[in-house]
Amino acid sequence: MKKLKFDPLNMIICGIGGQGNVLASEIVSSTLNDMGYRVAVGETYGASQRGGSVMSHVRVSETEDFGVLIPSGEAHIIIGFEPLETLRMARQYANKETMIIYDPRPVYPLGVLQGNQTYPPVEEISKELLALARETHAVHAADIAMEVGDSRAANIVLLGAFSRLPGSPLSTGELSEILAQRFQGEALEINRKAFASGCSAMDLKGGNHQ
């Protein structure tokens, strides 16, 4: 168990229903717990089956048990599966030390598809995220997942990217090991490819921005 940069380390994993962000938060939290950290997890759901917001609070400590909800402005890491949802969380929880990894591919609500609502340009979302946080990393997880053979593996792509983030409490090896415990056969192979591709996407980026 390595020393945390912050104690508690506060992480938010967010997206919309059906994107696999709840599974991602469960993988992260259970891995941390198995390593000996004290982990508190809280989840909030919108109309998740209709594409509503889904958000997980993950709080990690070496020695103490903390409440499950992260106070406003105190997230250290935000992992976002949808850009506008990521921005909503960042507006409430980010600060100048926050690191954000997100998929910049929009998932348009029904109101937008019907022409009753508007969706802000992704470029504007990216600029605001960068202004709110210490650093942001746009990883095209959904596109990468489709390239490796299964669009549902976007969550695993983002976990691979997360493992390469400076300050991540979990290494690439630690997260990679748990995949073999959660998946079997063809699903395991696809998720291993997705995870490796997420790692590579972060390595290729090099810098701290888009």
Question: Sign of the C-alpha dihedral, residues 138, 18, 57, 62?
Answer: negative
Threshold 0.85, pTM exceeds? yes
pLDDT at 203: 85
End-to-end CA distance of the chain: 31
Instruction: Tell me if 186 is assigned to some domain.
Output: yes
pLDDT at 25: 92
Instruction: Tell me if 198 is assigned to some domain.
Output: yes
Instruction: Tell me if 82 is assigned to some domain.
Output: yes
Q: pLDDT digit of tens for each residue in the chain (210 aa)?
A: 788 989 999 999 999 887 888 899 999 999 999 999 999 999 876 554 456 788 999 999 999 999 999 999 999 999 999 999 999 999 999 999 999 999 999 998 877 888 888 999 999 999 999 999 999 999 999 999 999 999 899 999 999 999 999 889 999 999 988 888 888 899 999 999 999 999 999 987 654 333
Instruction: Tell me if 210 is assigned to some domain.
Output: no
In whole angstroms, how far apart are CA 4 and each of 9, 30, 133, 188? 7, 17, 20, 30
CB atoms near residue 71 (< 10 Å): 10
Which residue, chain included where needed, has tokens 């998929």?
A: 103
In this structure, the dihedral spanned by the alpha carbons of residues 182, 188, 193 and 196, taken in order and rounded to 10 degrees, is: 30
Instruction: Tell me if 84 is assigned to some domain.
Output: yes
Cβ atoms of 80 and 14 within 8 Å: the answer is: yes
- For position 160, which CATH number holds? 3.40.920.10
The two tokens of residue 63 are 């020695």
Instruction: Tell me if 59 is assigned to some domain.
Output: yes
Residue ranges making up the domain that contains 114: 9-205
Instruction: Tell me if 39 is assigned to some domain.
Output: yes
Domain count, the chain: 1
Instruction: Tell me if 4 is assigned to some domain.
Output: no
